[in-house]
Amino acid sequence: MTFSRNKARWFGFAVALAAGFSLTPGIDPAVAQATKYPLKLANCGRTVTFEHAPQRTVSVGQSSTEVLYLLGLADKVVGTAVWFGPVLPGYEAANAKIPRLADNDPSFESVIARKPDLVTAQFQWHVGPSGIVGKPEQFEELGIPTYVSPADCVGKDNSSGGDGTRGTLFTMDLVYREITELAEIFDVQERGAKVVAELKAREEAARRKIAAGDGKVSAAFWFSSAKVDVDPYMAGKNSVPGYIMSALGVRNVVESEEEWPSVGWETIAKADPTIIVAGRMDRRRYPADDIAVKLNFLKTDPVASLMPAVKQGHVVEMDVQAMQPSVRVVDGIEMLADAIQRFGLKR
């Protein structure tokens, strides 16, 4: 799947949601009654209370922001931060009106300055026990509830720092839970049901496209590297890419439970993945954030350039948001399924 096809799909999705259409035949978007406040929700080991539907939200994380946009809540967002690339197609105009507090990590003070009555976060390392933006208790002292994506804490241990470890395989159910819970917090349950129904339908269609893979096709997902030629950050077995691969019967050559372990190129070459998936992003924290740097390295490095996947052109560029817990994971499944077909690897 090309990037342009993904853009067209998401743009159509945004238009359909805005029009209030039922997106998936046979799916009834009717849901529970209106939210009764105060609402109490269990979130990442804490109980969070919402006295009313939030009116001023700061979202720390691109995925958190895009979920709010999909729920039709852009007018409730007063600040965003931590972006990896362009916003979902169809939401450019809405996003342009909202202050971006930082491309990467915002300060606690910059978040508070927006006078939010809710702070959402994509990652616990931003808002959590050791949050670099702030701890939930710090916000609650000011009467501000916080909500962290369940995908970053359920089945995952972030206590060791870094990107954490996953003891169990990530599933899209965690993202669907986030959409449903945010819809309940804001009392827009019907909209949430429509978003989840469409994403589930797309995911199922992509799975059917490459039905019952036998594990003979393998892959390695490369997020980035602090130094291009040294120990790239590759997707662990229970990560989001691990889920993408499992959905299509593709074997992950990296066995670590770390979310994004550093793995030497010699080790990757020895594992001989059939496909290499390289992350594309606008962020420039590390040199290898640049997809052009990644591709050039694969072509010129004495070890990487000899890998069959590179020599045969079995390299896939993928938006890194599809490689992290987000609504774009479904894009990742679709893109890998298309690549398997394009490379002639489907049985």
The pLDDT-based confidence of 1 (bands split at 50, 70, 90) is very low
The pLDDT value given to residue 21: 45
Spell out the domains of the chain, with CATH numbers in brackets: 3-203 (3.40.50.1980), 211-342 (3.40.50.1980)
pLDDT more than 90, % of the chain:
83
The pLDDT value given to residue 297: 97
The pLDDT-based confidence of 230 (bands split at 50, 70, 90) is confident
The yes-or-no verdict on residue 269 having pLDDT over 80 is yes
The pLDDT value given to residue 13: 58
The yes-or-no verdict on residue 250 having pLDDT over 80 is yes
Q: Dihedral, CA atoms, 332, 335, 340, 346, nearest 10 degrees?
A: 90
The pLDDT-based confidence of 184 (bands split at 50, 70, 90) is very high
Whether 254 and 237 have beta carbons less than 8 Å apart is answered as yes
The pLDDT value given to residue 160: 80
Whether 274 and 345 have beta carbons less than 8 Å apart is answered as yes
Is 246 or 22 the better-scoring residue by pLDDT? 246
Mean per-residue pLDDT over the chain, rounded: 91
The pLDDT value given to residue 300: 97
CB under 8 A, 24+ apart: contacts of 289-295: 289/224, 291/317, 293/228, 294/222, 294/228
177 token code pair:
């839970």
Estimate to the nearest angstrom the gap between the alpha carbon of 222 and the chain centroid. 15
For the segment 111-139, the average pLDDT, to the nearest whole number, is 97
The pLDDT value given to residue 33: 78
Is 212 or 103 the better-scoring residue by pLDDT? 103
Q: Scanning the structure block, which residue is given the tokens 């269990």? A: 42
Question: What's the 3-state SS for the chain?
Answer: CCHHHHHHHHHHHHHHHHHCCCCCCCCCCCCCCCCCCCEEEEECCEEEEECCCCCCEEEECHHHHHHHHHCCCHHHEEEEECCCCCCCCCCHHHHHCCCEEECCCCCHHHHHCCCCCEEEECCCCCECCCCCCECHHHHHCCCCCEEECHHHCCCEECCCCCCCEECCCCCCHHHHHHHHHHHHHCCCHHHHHHHHHHHHHHHHHHHHHCCCCCCCCEEEEEEECCECCECCEECCCCCHHHHHHHHCCCEECCCCCECCCECCHHHHHHHCCCEEEEEECCCCCCHHHCHHHHHHHHHHCCCHHHCHHHHCCCEEEEEHHHHCCCCCHHHHHHHHHHHHHHCCCCC
115-126: per-residue pLDDT in tens? 999 999 999 999
The pLDDT-based confidence of 25 (bands split at 50, 70, 90) is very low
166 dihedral zone (left: phi>0; alpha: psi -120 to 50; beta): beta
Angstrom distance (rounded) from CA 239 to CA 217:
18
For the segment 322-342, the average pLDDT, to the nearest whole number, is 95
| Reported pTM | 0.89
* Residues sharing a CB contact under 8 Å with residue 187, sequence separation 6 or more, in sequence order: 34, 35, 53
Burial of 229 (0-12, 13-18, 19+ CB in 10 A): middle
For the segment 240-249, the average pLDDT, to the nearest whole number, is 96
The pLDDT value given to residue 27: 43
The pLDDT-based confidence of 163 (bands split at 50, 70, 90) is confident
For the segment 4-15, the average pLDDT, to the nearest whole number, is 58
For the segment 155-182, the average pLDDT, to the nearest whole number, is 93
The pLDDT value given to residue 24: 43
The pLDDT value given to residue 4: 55
The pLDDT value given to residue 162: 75
The pLDDT value given to residue 5: 59
Whether 57 and 120 have beta carbons less than 8 Å apart is answered as yes
Whether 210 and 337 have beta carbons less than 8 Å apart is answered as yes
Angstrom distance (rounded) from CA 239 to CA 90:
28
Is 217 or 31 the better-scoring residue by pLDDT? 217
48-60: per-residue pLDDT in tens? 999 999 999 999 9
The yes-or-no verdict on residue 8 having pLDDT over 70 is no
Question: Rg of the chain's alpha carbons, rounded to an integer?
Answer: 20
Judge if the upstream peptide bond of residue 136 is cis by omega within 30 degrees of 0: no
The pLDDT-based confidence of 26 (bands split at 50, 70, 90) is very low
At 43, the amino acid letter reads N
270 token code pair:
């020895």
